[in-house]
Amino acid sequence: MSKQSDNPLVRFTAFFWGAAVFSLFGVIVLLFWIFDGGKQKGDVLEEHAAADRYAKRAEVDAAQAKNFEYKVVEEGKTVQVPPSAAFDLVGKTLLATKPAAVAKPEQIVPGSPRAAHIGDGPATNIDVDAVDAKTPAADAPIDPAVMAMGKTQFVVCSACHGAEGKGAAGTPPGIAPPLEGSDWLKGPASNLIRIQLRGLNGDLHVLGKVWPLPAPTMAPLAYQSDEQIAAVLTYVRNSFGNKFGPILPEQVTMLRSEVGKPMLTEADLLKPQP
């Protein structure tokens, strides 16, 4: 044994480093245990949270499945079938259905071969004078419910004529002639009804100005009921500073045969009342 190995200082230094390494190893082990233990604890909390989510999901799935069950509400009447059954029934019905000609004239597309065929067919005698004769006087009372319905229907019209009926001069500007003070609104009433049923194409003189109607032109709105057409025309004839007699549903009914014919032009209309 060398004198150096018996040196107390060397022995103390070796012991110190050994103790330090052992302590460091213990600290590392402790840190691993702490972090690993925390992770395991987090995993336990996550499992608890996931269990709640799975239970809620199962509850929702069960409720949806119950809603899709067959339900007999009365003898021979079953409702709320599964979507797959509904799709199957619709598909089978469509396959078993034979094509048929369009029965409703309001579904005919203007400018289509079918519309051209109707236009070339025998003319239907329409007594517009009889229609206009039914127009009430300008001071005739108007049912507020009619005005309310007309205001609702006017939402479609406002896209072009503007919410305030100012047309292209409005803010924001529209793309159609103004309704405010329009001489066409004064009458004859048959003009307005026919425009609703057949649409309008080409230039139009309004308040001394020529309005080139943009493309697309005013499309027919024959899908509206007689009451809705009468209401919206009554609304525009009594809004935006206008005050004219109301339009009656029976007047619209008298002109229903106009549906499906080619779009009107200004030349097809009666001159507006002075």
Look at 54-58, 77-81, 140-144, 195-199 and tell me which has the smallest mean pLDDT.
77-81
pLDDT at 190: 94
- Express each pLDDT in 246-265 by its tens digit: 999 999 999 998 888 888 98
Most confidently predicted of 60-74, 113-127, 128-142: 128-142
State the Cα–Cα distance between residues 84 and 105, nearest whole angstrom.
Answer: 35
- The Cβ of residue 228 has, within 10 Å, a number of other Cβ atoms equal to 18
167-179: average pLDDT: 68
Higher pLDDT, 270 or 210: 270
List the one residue out of 185, 188, 163 whose CA is nearest residue 173. 163
The gap from C-alpha 268 to its chain's centroid, in whole angstroms, comes to 34
The superfamily (CATH) of domain 105-268 is Cytochrome c-like domain (1.10.760.10)
Higher pLDDT, 203 or 99: 203
Most confidently predicted of 37-46, 71-80, 211-220: 211-220
20-27: average pLDDT: 78
Token representation of residue 116: 């051209």
pLDDT of residue 123 exceeding 50, the answer is no
pLDDT at 70: 64
Average pLDDT value for the chain: 79
Given the structure tokens 């309004």, which residue do they identify? Answer: 206
164-172: average pLDDT: 68
Token representation of residue 164: 């305030």
pLDDT at 24: 81
Token representation of residue 168: 């292209």
Q: Which amino acid is at 197?
A: L
pLDDT of residue 15 exceeding 80, the answer is no
